[in-house]
Every structure is written in structure tokens, then in C-alpha cells.
Chains A and B, each alone.
Chain A
Amino acid sequence: MHDVRTEPAPSASQAPTTPEVHYINATHGAMSWFFTKDHKRIALLYLYAVSAFFLVGGIFAMLIRLELATPRGDLLTAETYNKVFTAHGVVMVFFFLIPVVPTILGNFLVPIMIGAKDLAFPRLNLASWYVYMAGGLFGVAALVSGGVDTGWTFYTPYSTAASNTHVVLTGLGAFIAGFSSIFTGINFIVTIHTMRAPGMTWDRLPLFIWSHYAASLIMILGTPVVAVTLLMVVLERTLGLGFFNPALGGDPVLYQHLFWFYSHPAVYIMVLPAMGVISELVSAFSRKPVFGYKMVAIASLGIALVGFLVWGHHMFTTSQSVLAAMVFSILSFLVAIPSAIKVFNWTATLYRGSVELASPMLYALGFIGLFTIGGLTGLFLAAIGLDIHVHDTYFVVAHFHYVMVGGTVTAYLGGLHFWWPKMTGKLYSEGWAKVAAVLVFVGFNLTFFPQFVLGYLGMPRRYHAYPVEELSWQVLNILSSAGASILGIGFLLPAFYLTYSALKGQPAGPNPWGAYGLEWETTSPPPTANFEVTPIVTKPAYYYAPEEH
């Protein structure tokens, strides 16, 4: 094993310090933030906004779990419960999961990691934040004026002909938020194509960049489809156009095709950037290159493209033709393979590494476990004969929480911890961070594992109450609700110690983890222009040790 210093070990005399001028204190006043064109400041604006939505979505989650702790609908009325799980889904999907990694970590890191001064279109970047906030405003308006009860999927004809809640406002909110996603995607793609530092060739790009590239493709190809679909719902509700109404010659299932054509790939908008984070974390805390760099990069693109061909697996019980069901089934199995490859690659990266179990790494290793379960249970749903039974039950709820919360949220938290010293220049309490990581892992499994069992037992999703005679359902629901409280604490803790560290933490220095990558070659926090001089890249990604010959 090599013993090559990645940087001089800090001795007492050269303890890390914070640069005098950096992007946070370069200019002052509220206006300097609200009109900033600095991608790093915009990332922070997103951090505040997205975190606020996460808190709101989390409060709704706790209400759901409280209600389901007893079989009778005794806490909320049926109507309120339906609005609560709809709000939970809408907020979590459109205002948290889809934006979280690209707009916070991606915004902050994409330019720095490729050695650029900013994104290609700084004004568009700022605009995308305002558009996101505008979409959020519509969502909040819908909430406070009485809410919406369609579920986040807005299935027709319920959403167009039956529901008398604020479907139009909510639909417009999601529609508007979609544009923010499109803007971000365009910005990333152009930036990655045109603004790489000298020597930053495509085969030297960090995997974080590759995965954001792949996710951006979905954002610009898929988001317009859901935008048009939501618009069609709005038009059908307001003007009575009958796209989805059989009485007017429309087809309610057409809506599902259009909706899932975007919303299935959207899962990859959430998970691909998360996978990028995991590649960075596993490599940094093993101090070696990601095993099979090329395959991981190609797998990202593969997932993005094949991900567009599997939407029909949400409709196996909708009288789909047997042939269509078979085609969607086999394609769904195929799209799972690149994900499996990635799991093996990350695991193999540990082999002969220099592994440090710091808090971001705990999240990353937790991710591997949760994502493995989430991915494998997806196969249960791809197997048509089995999906018939578990479709629209709690099995599905468990599966997508394993993928999206276990995947996206743990990766996000791991990444946030990893790059927090870079973003703020400060170190947080590693002890608390480890406690939080363990709480999230334990709480998560206790919350969602019982839901697999519940689903196979037949408990349908979106149920406000369930039959009292199903004793096992209640026991499993109580476990799940108990887990949710632990998970909730695990999510809240970082808010406190990270905020505390930003105010009172020790200076981090440029590279507290001894990690490799351009972002660690600039100061923490970086200057407004990211680098004092444009870096020139001469080495491959993850160059921790010289080549063996």
C-alpha cells in the first residue's frame, strides 16, 4: 500500500484558517443575495427554500403516520387525510426530491468541479430559483386555501371531473416548478459542454458531473411532457375539454401514459444525482478511484435513456394488453441492471481502500444497503404476475421510499455533510453527525420495512382507515409510526448542529477530508470566482496515488 501524502498534514503551527474574502462575505445586504448571479449563493438560496419544503412535507408525513397508528380514522377526517397525503406527495416530489440534489449540491459544485467560474447562464440560474419559488407559492396558496385531494399523481377523471378541491392551483404550481427544472438542466448541459477547465477531458470528469449530465437530459426531455399534461388537466377542468373524459370521447388512461412518461424518468432525476454523490463519497473516503469509472459513467447515461421506456409498468392493472405488459416488464428488468452494476462497483471500491468511516461515509454505506433493497423490491413490481397483487398497496409505498428517501435523501445528507466545510468554511460536530446518520438508518428501516409486509398482506395505499379485524396491520403500522419518529429526529438533528457549525464551527481549511478533486483545491469557502487562477487539469479523476507500473 502506498503512503503518499495527499496534502501536508496540518500541524499545530499551520492550523486551517478561513480566507478573508470569500463568496459569502464578498458583498453585503439582502439585495446582494436576491440579485446574485453567483451559483454558490444561488445554491444557498435553494438550500433554505428546499429545506423549508422538506420540513413541511415531513410534518405531513408525521400526520399520516399518526393517523395510521390506529385502524380507525380518528385523528383526521377522511377528507383532511386525503389532503394531507396529497400535500405530502406533492411537496416531497415536486418541491423536494426533484430539486434537492441538482439545485443545492449541483448548483454549488458543477462549476467548481470542472474548474469553471460559474454556470454558463448565471441569470437563468437565478431565474430558475425565482420560478421555483413562484411554483412553491402556488402550491402554498393551494394549501392554505383548502388543499387538494387528488394524490400527487392527479389521476383523471378524478382530478378533472370529480374532485372539488384546488387542483388547478396545485397543477399550476407543479407546472411552474417544472420550468425551473428545465432551466437548471439546460444550464448544466451547456456548462459541462463548454466551460470545462483546460485538461478537464470527458474521461476525467468526476462521476458527480456525469450523473448530473444524465439527469439534465431527462430534465429537458421529460419535463415538457409533464408540463403539457398538467396543462391539459387544467384546461379540462376549466374549459371542459375532454382529453381524458370518456363521456367526451377522451380516455382516462391516456393521462396515465402521459403522466408516467415523465414521472417514471423523474425518479431518475432524483436518483442519478444521488448516485453521483455516492460515487464521490465512496471514493473520497476510500482514497482510491471508483471501481470501473467508465462503466459507472455509461450506466448513468444508460439509466437515463432506458428510463424513458418503462413508464407502462405503472399500468399493469389498467387493462393494458398482454403484449404491452410483457414489453414494459422486460424493459423494467433491463433498466435495473445498470443500477445493480453501480452497487457492485461502489462495494468493490472499498477493496484495498483506505476507508474512513466519517459521517458522510456512514450515509454513503447506508445508502448502498437501502438502495439495494429498494432496487431489488422494484423487481417484484416489474414481474407482472406479482405486481397485480402488490400494485397500489403499501408494498409500493415501501419500495419507492426505499429508492427515493433511502436513495435520494441519504445521498443528499451524505453530500451535504461532505461539502458543508467547503460551502461554509466550517467544521461541524462529527459526533452528532454520526448519531444522526445512525438514527436515520435505523429509523428509516423501522418505518418502511414493515410496509413491505403490510403491502403483501394486502393493505391498499391511500387508506385513511383500515379494517379493525386485521390485527397484524395495526401492529405493523404502529412499528412504522414509531420508526417515523426516530427518522424525524434523525432529520432534525443536522438542522441544529449544521446551523451551529456555520455560526460557531472551527475553520475547515481547503481540504479537511484529504480528498481529491478540483473543489478541494480552492479555499473554503471559495472566492466568488471559485479559483484564484484557472486550474489546469493534468490527472484523471480520483487520482489519489500514482499509477502502478
Chain B
Amino acid sequence: MGGTFTLFPSQGSTLAGRVDNLYFFMLAVTLFFTVLVAALVVVLALKYRRKQADQVGANIHGSTALEVIWTAIPLLIAMVMFVWGTNVYFALAKPPAEAMEVYIIGKRWMWKAQHLTGHREINQLHVPIGRPVKLLISSEDVIHSYYIPAFRQKMDAVPGKTTTMWFEATKPGEYQLFCAEYCGTQHSGMIGKVIAMEPRAYQQWLAAGAPAGTLTSNGEQEFTTLGCVTCHREDGKGRGPSLVGVFGKSQALADGSSVHVDEAYLRESILNPQAKMVPNYQPIMPTYQGQISEDALVSLIAYIKSLEKPGAAPAGAAGTHEAAPAAGTH
């Protein structure tokens, strides 16, 4: 045994307080109705206790007025909860545009984190406080779930998908990190720490373990090694479309529809290139399903995201990279 005894989790993120307020509201409603029902049951059961063996109750069938009231009031309260809960959910689900990005890969039984700076960590995540952090989460094998109770945030890591989650830590400290989706034998061992640091300390941490390459430069290497570069030439004269500046834009497709270029689309195009074809190109790209590790995939996606049109002002979605820790990753 050890540690401190508490019946309430610490609040480590900007949104934790908002989640807790909703929790307290619902707790109050629950308490009120539970006490009300319990009191009514006890009082009525005692007050109308059977006095003689053959006594019967009053022949009351119901009351429309009462039924309307006790349908309407719970409905009203439920709708308040719905609106409030949805409101909090919007905040939890939508990362701010300027958030710095970290890639997370779940794998039995560990959490790998890849920073754009090229820093890699296992079962740890160092983040600065006072700055929104967006996690791009994927899985190498089965479904996992990235869960930081102190931040009141959680998101599944689903194989074949990239999911996102965000938070902004408010206090320096170490916070528990769990896997919340059952994933096999060592599920309960798939835990770690999120280490929130003062920005200055964070910069020192970055400097202390400076890796050889950044995530995007690793991605660039993969891009060359895997031969992507032979077709996806920057000048657009290759047998595949140029990937410069496509991220965050809308891409017209051969079947007449269009798609928003996000992480999911990039992932799909690498693993299953024939699924959504760009017009005027032959379906000649090989599928990389099973040929490429989740790590390489993540760095490729990060690299493609970083490709800017030369001279284009970093604006809109593309601006997110500029906010990333090591400026000048490309």
C-alpha cells in the first residue's frame, strides 16, 4: 500500500473541470430522485401497512395528470443532460487548430509515442502544459484505448484507422495512462505515465534526448526507400499524383465524388490504393497492406502532411505543422 487516499480523481486538463461539473449535476439529480423514491417507498409501505389479514387496498387505477407530470419532468431533465453532455462532448472531440501533434501507436502491450521531433517513447508521453496537444492514435494489432483519467479523456486505437484525441494539461505532474479496451493477457499491464511539464522544462527534455532525425525526415526516408518517390514526383510529372500540398484539401475522385484529405484518407490510399482513385491516373500503385509497419506508416503520413507548396503561406489546416515543437521540420 501507499499513496494518498482520495475519492475524486485529480483534474489535470482544461476540460476536466467541465466534465466534473456535469458529473456533479447528474450526481445531484440522481441523489434527489433516489432519496425521493426511497423515501416514498418506505413512508408509503409503512403508512399503509396491512392491519387485518383480509384487508384490500383502494381501487385506484391511475391518474392521467400525475402520469403526464412524471413523464414531462424527467423528459425535461433528461434533455438538459443531453444538451449539456453534448456540449461537453463537442469540446472533448474537437481539437483546436493550433494543437501540436503526437502520434500514438497501441500494440500489445505497450503505448508507443512518436513526436514530430523524432523523439520516441514507450509507455510515456511528455507534453508541455498550457498548450493543446492532439494525439493521432492507431493500433498495430487489436483495439486498445488510450485513457488518461486525470484529463477525463479516452479514445480507442482501432486497427486500420487513425483516431484523434486532444487535451491541454494545466498542471505539471505525472498522470496515469491506461489501456481501457480489453486487449489480451497483459491488458492491465499496458499502462504508463503522461508527464506534463512547464514549457521550459519540456524544451530541456526535448534538447536532452535529441534524436537523429525528425518524424518527417524519417518519413521522407521511408518515402524514398519504399519507392513512393519514383511515381509521386514533386513536380507532378510522375505516374502518380504529386502529394505536395494535398493534405487538408478536398480531392476530386475518378468516380466524380470528392474526399477530404485527412489522415484516414492517406492511410487508406497507402494500404488500399484502388479504393479511392484520383482521376487521370492508372490503378498501378501496389497495395502496401502487410508490407509496411505501423511505425513507417505513421512517419509517412507525417511526412506527406508536412509537404507544402513552395512559397505557399502556412495557413489553415497546413498551419498545424508550424505549431509543432521543432519548427523547420522540412
A residues with a Cβ closer than 8 A to B are: 1-6, 9, 73, 78-79, 82, 149-151, 155, 157-158, 161-163, 246-247, 249, 251-253, 286-289, 291-295, 316-319, 322, 325-326, 329-330, 333-334, 336-337, 340-341, 343-345, 347-348, 350-357, 365, 368-369, 372-373, 376-377, 379-380, 382-389, 391-393, 453, 456-458, 460-472, 474-475, 514, 544-548
Interface size on B, residues (CB 8 A): 95
**How close is A68's CB to chain B, nearest CB, in angstroms?**
10
Q: Does B100 contact A (CB under 8 A)?
A: no
Partner of A253, one of B33, B85, B158: B158
Stretch of B184-192, B241-249, B251-259 at the chain-chain interface: B184-192
**Are B145 and A384 touching (Cβ within 8 A)?**
no
B19 touches A385 (CB 8 A): yes
Residues of B near A467 (CB, < 8 A) are: 176, 191
Task: Give the residues in chain B near A341, CB-CB below 8 Å.
Answer: 67, 70-71, 74
B20 to chain A, nearest CB (A): 9
Knowing A318-B158, A376-B33, A467-B191 are in contact, say whether A548-B59 is a contact too (CB < 8 A): yes
User: Dominant SS at the B interface?
Assistant: mixed
Q: List 7 A-B contacts (CB under 8 A).
A: A3-B54, A158-B184, A330-B82, A340-B71, A353-B48, A373-B34, A544-B57
Instruction: Compute how far the CA of A249 lies from the CA of B287 in the bound complex, rounded to whole angstroms.
Output: 12
Q: Given A322-B93, A365-B41, A468-B2, are A514 and B54 neighbors across the interface (CB < 8 Å)?
A: yes
Any A CB within 8 A of the CB of B60: yes
B250 at the interface (CB under 8 A from A): no
> With A and B bound together, what is the CA distance between A67 and B98 in angstroms?
45
Complex contacts, B90 vs chain A, CB 8 Å: 322
Q: Are B160 and A251 in contact (CB under 8 A)?
A: yes
Residues in B lying within 8 Å of A, measured CB to CB = 1-9, 18-19, 22-23, 26, 29-30, 33-34, 37-38, 40-41, 44-45, 48-63, 66-67, 70-71, 74-75, 78-79, 81-82, 84-93, 108, 141-143, 145, 147, 149-150, 152-156, 158-161, 163, 176, 178-189, 191, 272, 289-290
| Partner among A351, A387, A475 whose Cβ is within 8 Å of the Cβ of B44 | A351
Residue of B38, B55, B155, B184 ringed by the most chain A CB atoms within 10 A: B55
Q: How far is the CB of A42 from the nearest CB of chain B, in Å?
A: 34
B residues near A355, Cβ cutoff 8 Å? 44-45, 48-50, 57
Complex alpha-carbon distance, A376 and B32, angstroms: 11
Q: How far is the CB of B176 from chain A (nearest CB, A)?
A: 7
B13 to chain A, nearest CB (A): 11
- Please, which residue of chain B has its CB at the minimum distance from the CB of A160? B142
Whether the pair B152, A389 counts as a contact (CB closer than 8 A) is yes
Q: In the assembled complex, how far is the CB of residue B161 from the closest CB belonging to chain A, in whole angstroms?
A: 6
A287 to B53, CA, bound (A): 11
Q: Which of B3, B85, B180 contacts A385 (CB 8 A)?
A: B85
**B residues less than 8 Å from A340 (CB atoms):** 70-71, 74
Contact indicator B142/A351 (Cβ below 8 Å)? no
Closest-by-CB residue of A relative to B160 is A246
- Alpha-carbon distance between A357 and B161 when the two chains are bound, in angstroms: 57
A162–B159 CA distance with the chains assembled, in angstroms: 12
Instruction: Say whether A392 contacts B57, CB under 8 Å.
Output: no
Among B50, B154, B185, contact of A78 (Cβ-Cβ < 8 Å): B185
A391 to B92 alpha-carbon distance, docked (Å): 14
Q: Are A372 and B37 neighbours in the complex by a CB distance under 8 Å?
A: yes
Q: Is the CB of B7 within 8 A of A372?
A: no
Instruction: Flag if B30 contacts A377 (CB, 8 Å).
Output: yes
Nearest B residue to A458, CB-CB: B149
Report which residue of A317, A468, A514 has the largest number of chain B beta carbons within 10 angstroms of its beta carbon: A317
The residue in B82, B141, B145, B189 that gathers the most chain A C-beta atoms within 10 A of its C-beta is B82
